[in-house]
Amino acid sequence: MKTPATHQTETTCLPILSSQNQGWENILVERFQYPPGEGNCHYSDEHAICLSLASRPVRLMQIRGGKTYAGLYGKGDLSITPAKMPFFARWDGDDDYLQIRLASRFIQSVARETLAINSDQLELVPEFRTRDPQIEAIGLMLLAELKQENLGGRLYIESLANVLAVHLLRQYAAVKPHLAIYEGGLPERQLLQVLDYMNDRLDQPIKLADLAQLLGMSQFHFSHAFKQAIGTAPYQYLLQQRIERAKQLLKQTDRSIMDIAFLCGFNSHSHLSKQFRQGTGVTPTAYRSQL
């Protein structure tokens, strides 16, 4: 996150996992484990989602937007706090939860580009305790990326952030927008344009925003159309192509595996090795020795 939110809390626990230093844009994901206590939070420029990961339900009292909620939060329960809304909570047991914060400017951008909503009229509705299988699934995928140190790549995180933002706007905006999904995928000319762009930059960071901008589309609609056209998501296709490039370099050159990792867009020897093994069933070293 480039712009830190205003955050005051009476608790002193730090997150046990955080995306703070992983280069994720527009989204901050952190896992907290707190002993019984209480705290105040106020995020001036971010919308916050808290997803319970507690192994046993925790009794929680919340005050937000002039309303009070008290009850048990179990695994999978979540709350949504819009930006600029002060929040107080008190919990009487050991708590474990995932917090996802999305930048307000990012939500506004998605609202304009994907849903044609006037961002000045955008308002999210707070939720105290609700169930939402799609948010829970996205949250667990983000948590898995945190544990693996973002080995899925930035394109994957951006895709998840966009899907999450659109879902929030469709389900929790004060005025429900209509989302038109265009069927049929990308035309061949546009698809080839995107594939060539990726192929020419396998050694560089590739952003979802850059791919969508090539075709003048929103990131959400681009991802949907790309998958329809080629049968796989942009981040999956990019990873496949990087592994294919690594296979070529292992076969045709005597470069070190570290050099090959950087030439294929991986950030380390271990990053390449893990993804290569997942994609091919063998390590880069073993693959080279078989040639």
Q: Is the pLDDT of residue 3 over 60?
A: no
Q: Are strands 127-130 and 17-18 parallel, antiparallel or unpaired?
A: unpaired
Q: What predicted TM-score, i.e. pTM, was given to this entire model?
A: 0.85
Task: Determine how many CB atoms are found less than 10 A away from the CB of residue 290.
Answer: 9
Give me the sign of the Cα torsion angle 18, 20, 24, 27: positive
> How far apart (Å, rounded) are the C-alpha atoms in residues 101 and 99?
7
- The mean pLDDT of 184-194, rounded to a whole number, is 92
Distances (CA, A) of 23 to 29, 47, 119: 12, 19, 26
Three-class SS state of 257: helix
In contact, 184 and 228? CB cutoff 8 Å = yes
Q: Is the pLDDT of residue 152 over 90?
A: no
> Residue 8's pLDDT is what?
40
**φ and ψ at 27, to 5 degrees?**
-140, 135
> Residue 5's pLDDT is what?
42
At 57-101, the pLDDT tens digits run 999 999 988 899 999 999 999 999 999 999 999 999 999 999 999
In contact, 146 and 17? CB cutoff 8 Å = yes
Percent above pLDDT 70 for the chain: 92
> Residue 148's pLDDT is what?
81
- Which run of H or E residues covers position 145? helix 133-147
> How far apart (Å, rounded) are the C-alpha atoms in residues 8 and 186?
46
Nearest to 135 by CA among 171, 81, 110, 180: 171
In contact, 92 and 59? CB cutoff 8 Å = yes
Nearest to 15 by CA among 177, 167, 147, 191: 147
At 17-31, the pLDDT tens digits run 999 988 899 999 999
Q: Is the pLDDT of residue 201 over 80?
A: yes
